[in-house]
């Protein structure tokens, strides 16, 4: 099933990116999926400050962000803070998808504005099942459009 929003996945582990995509597709998700290797590249994309050759965000589109916490350059927490501080980008649903399963981290991310927090299970079969459930969830939600101004709100 395809909804009218792009799924943005930010994770520095190439294997996790492919595993997430594979299992979302297996769960029937047909949405466009875009990958980002760290916090800086997703911020560049969303705030329209991409480098030459990099893909630019559409001016008016719905996005859903699957965000890892522990990443190089800029952490997932910092990304979350910057997105939720922007009056337009704060509408983007952010689902933390990370190996960190610390109750304090879960609370901190929710206080910073994440919509959901999903720990990545260590066992492959459990991870696969978690992504299947996530895919079912993504197939029924509605995501608002964001209007990007080309210059973003500054990062």
pLDDT of residue 77: 95
Question: Is residue 151 assigned to a domain?
Answer: no
Question: Is residue 91 assigned to a domain?
Answer: yes
The contacts of residue 24 (CB under 8 Å, 6+ apart) are: 7, 33, 131, 134, 135, 138
What does the DSSP assignment read for 41-93? HHHHHHTT-PPTTSPPPPSEEEEEEEE-SS-SSS-HHHHHHHHHHSTTGGGS-
pLDDT of residue 60: 73
Distance CA 125, CA 114 (A): 26
**E strand segments, 84-129:** 94-98, 116-119
pLDDT of residue 154: 43
pLDDT tens sequence for the chain (155 residues):
556 899 999 999 998 899 999 999 999 999 999 999 999 999 999 998 765 455 666 767 899 999 999 998 899 999 999 999 999 999 999 999 999 889 999 999 999 999 999 999 989 899 999 999 999 999 999 999 998 765 444 44
Backbone angles phi, psi at 82, to 5 degrees: -70, -40
Domain count, the chain: 1
pLDDT of residue 151: 45
pLDDT of residue 85: 97
Range(s) of the domain holding residue 126: 6-140
Question: Is residue 53 assigned to a domain?
Answer: yes
Task: Check which CATH number belongs to the domain holding 123 and give it.
Answer: 3.40.50.2300
Which residue(s) pair with 34 in the sheet? 8
């Amino acid at each position: 099933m395809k909804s009218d929003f792009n799924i943005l996945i930010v994770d520095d582990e190439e294997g996790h990116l492919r595993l997430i995509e594979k299992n979302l597709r297996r769960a029937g998700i047909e949405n466009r999926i875009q990958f980002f290797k760290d916090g800086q590249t997703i911020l560049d994309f969303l705030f329209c400050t991409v480098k030459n050759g990099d893909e630019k965000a559409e001016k008016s589109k719905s996005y859903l962000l699957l965000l890892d916490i522990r990443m190089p350059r800029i952490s997932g927490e910092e990304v979350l803070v910057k997105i939720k501080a922007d009056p337009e980008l704060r509408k983007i649903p952010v689902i933390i998808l990370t190996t960190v399963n610390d109750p304090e981290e879960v609370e901190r991310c929710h206080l910073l504005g994440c919509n959901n927090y999903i720990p990545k299970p260590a066992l492959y079969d459990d991870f696969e099942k978690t992504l299947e459930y996530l895919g079912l969830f993504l197939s029924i939600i509605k995501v608002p459009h964001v209007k990007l101004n080309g210059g973003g709100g500054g990062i």
